[in-house]
Structure 1
Amino acid sequence: MRQDEYDAYSEQQLREYVESQTGLVSTEAALRKAHRDRERFLPHGLATERHRLLVAENDSGEMVGTVWLGLDSPGSKDESDGRSAEMAWLYDIRVDTAYRRSGYGAAILSAVEVLARDAGALRLGLNVFGHNTPALALYERSGYEVTTQQMAKRLR
């Protein structure tokens, strides 16, 4: 990913995160959390150690999606160096709207799995919103299993 692509990706990710929190928390609170998370997980942007921000292209060289892979599991600690490479973490995977339902999601996911495995990871973890049925279906088809589940109920 080039810097200009990262800038556009970051803006889109921020906007979508805030939209996903509409009705749950205030816009200001969602923005604060998004900025805190970015500082925590990507303090050096593209240059953040053990993180890969990549662009997926089709055979014609057109960008079809993006992916953010962390080569350590968030919050995991190894006693020797503060990291755990046993599980890599898929922070974000996106397929542009025009290219969805064409097999790109599965191809991107497969390529990310190879990158994680080549970096020494034994597992690849991710989070997905329960209402994101297309993503859930992709992950299930690709062999992912539920390891943790959170539930919530909106109180009026």
Structure 2
Amino acid sequence: MDFFTGDERTLLGGLLDVQRGQVAALLDGLSEEEARARLVPSLTTVAGLVKHAIFVEKVWFHSRVAGVPRAEVGLPDSIDESFVLAPDDTVASLREGFLTACARSRDIAAQHELDEEFPWHEEPVSLRFVYAHMIAELARHAGHGDILVEQLRARRA
């Protein structure tokens, strides 16, 4: 992998892509019912985690970095809403939506420098921060998803 010995941007992009791959892989081998199964009291489901990952890609890259208003990107108002599944959300549509969002995020990031700053609440953040935040965010949710998938597969046995 290039990012093991590459420059900082290659490292950050590579680590983020590893986490993106982990999130996308959560859906592998799950039925529609399993992907939607609620195993915890919160809105967290495997499908919901992937839908939320689409949301964070769009919040950070499509809106914040690209400067497109949230409403134009089609983002819900709250984080909780980003986990809510629509009746037409499927394993295939969520996987495709996530991969498409990631591809768009890569294109957006490629147009900016790591030190470039973007507005966030009261203080600006750099693209470097966005990469680091997204690596942590997706790693956390991939871990949540791994536990849910393990529980779902144990139900089959």
Name the TM-score, length of structure 2 as normaliser. 0.29
The structure with the greater share of residues assigned to strand is 1
Name the one with the larger helix percent. 2
TM-score (norm 1): 0.29
Greater RCO (CA < 8 Å, at least 6 residues apart): 2
